[in-house]
């Protein structure tokens, strides 16, 4: 039986591998230490030296070459969360296979995104604001165009973006996709129209951002893009905050109260900019709830276990991360 261990923040480990999942791993492997962090690596030196398989989740320590020297038998990591950018490269350089739960996490992001797109198409956010202000007569409150044949622009066709596209299929909207890595053949297979970033903002009545945060995308969504949004359009960000120039967003949305912004990721925004955004009635901010939260985290544990069982049986599960993929992943 393969020797295993679980890396990550103890509370996250309990949330992801709770309700029998930890016991399932213990039945499938010879499970060693659970909830190992950077500061406790040395405490488990002897046990980790025998480990062949790691499971991990949030706050997994980034293993250095020296750490990996102490794990000579390590073959694979099954990561029950999404982004592996922080720790993947040293593992891949040693030939350790990495399997990520980014598809399961992307599904949760997509479900919240779908809900917001449906509400945006109905004009819910502007309508609620008008209703709160006592717009009379009631039918003068803003109403959206509805989703049928509505141009909806998706920025980024990674796991989350593609999951959004899949969920939107029954609603018969017009899907526009910007992604520099998306080919015309890929777009045709997805049933979407491949567009430039400028076209995505100029045509999309709803624009949903799922771009990876890379040096080349940092601040890519800026003032000229937001100024090009159609009248009464909605911009949504459940992706990475670094792709958005929030200072520009605050300026444009202050000047154009017809627009609506739904921002789920603002943790890196400067305090003075955040204060400006908070003061705008057409900007709605949530606290990074689009990803897996609460009971949704159990789906990540299920995915890691499913991937392990396929791998143990000699297969290659979906979710394998390669060096080449890191260039396109968030």
Same domain, 114 and 255: yes
The Cα 275–Cα 286 span in angstroms is: 14
pLDDT band for position 129 (cuts 50, 70, 90): confident
CB within 8 Å of 238: residues ≥ 6 apart: 109, 112, 113, 116, 160, 208, 209, 210, 264, 265, 290
- Whole-prediction pTM: 0.89
Same domain, 321 and 210: no
Same domain, 279 and 133: yes
Same domain, 138 and 61: no
pLDDT at 138: 67
Same domain, 36 and 167: no
Same domain, 260 and 319: no
pLDDT band for position 137 (cuts 50, 70, 90): low
Same domain, 121 and 79: no
Same domain, 163 and 228: yes
Same domain, 256 and 280: yes
pLDDT band for position 214 (cuts 50, 70, 90): confident
Same domain, 170 and 277: yes
Judge contact between 93 and 67, C-beta under 8 A.
Answer: no
Same domain, 176 and 249: yes
Burial label, 9 (beta-carbon count in 10 A; 0-12, 13-18, 19+): middle
Same domain, 119 and 260: yes
| Mean pLDDT across 131-149 | 82
pLDDT band for position 284 (cuts 50, 70, 90): very high
Structural domain harbouring 7? 3-104+294-327
pLDDT at 136: 64
Q: Which CATH number do you get for residue 307? A: 3.40.50.720
Number of domains in the chain: 2
């Amino acid at each position: 039986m393969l020797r295993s261990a679980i890396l990550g923040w103890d509370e996250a480990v309990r949330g992801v591998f709770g309700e029998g999942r930890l016991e399932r791993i213990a039945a499938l492997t010879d499970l060693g230490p659970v909830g190992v962090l950077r500061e406790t690596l040395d405490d488990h030196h002897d046990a980790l030296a025998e480990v062949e398989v790691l499971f991990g989740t949030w706050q997994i320590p980034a293993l250095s070459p020296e750490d990996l020297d102490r794990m000579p038998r390590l073959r694979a990591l099954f990561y029950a969360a999404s982004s592996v950018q922080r720790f993947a490269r040293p593992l891949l350089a040693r030939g350790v296979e990495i399997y990520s739960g980014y598809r399961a996490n992307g599904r949760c992001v997509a479900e919240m995104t779908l809900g917001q797109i449906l509400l945006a198409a109905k004009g819910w956010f502007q309508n609620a604001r008008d209703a709160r202000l006592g717009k009379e007569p009631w039918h003068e409150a803003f109403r959206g165009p509805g989703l049928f044949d509505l141009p909806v622009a998706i920025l980024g066709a990674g796991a989350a973006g593609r999951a959004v596209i899949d969920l939107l299929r029954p609603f018969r909207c017009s899907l526009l996709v910007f992604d520099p890595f998306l080919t015309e053949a890929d777009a045709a297979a997805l049933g979407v129209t491949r567009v430039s970033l400028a076209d995505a903002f100029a045509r999309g009545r709803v624009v949903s951002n799922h771009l990876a945060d890379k040096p080349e995308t940092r601040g890519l969504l800026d003032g000229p893009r937001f100024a090009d949004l159609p009248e009464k359009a909605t911009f949504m960000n459940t992706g990475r905050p670094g792709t958005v120039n929030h200072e520009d967003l605050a300026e444009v949305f202050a000047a154009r109260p017809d627009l609506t912004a739904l921002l789920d990721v603002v943790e890196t925004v400067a305090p003075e900019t955040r204060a400006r955004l908070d003061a705008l009635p057409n900007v709605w901010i949530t606290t990074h709830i689009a990803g897996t939260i609460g009971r949704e985290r159990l789906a990540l544990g299920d995915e890691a276990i499913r991937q392990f069982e396929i791998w143990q049986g000699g297969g290659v599960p979906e979710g394998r991360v390669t060096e080449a993929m890191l260039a396109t992943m968030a």
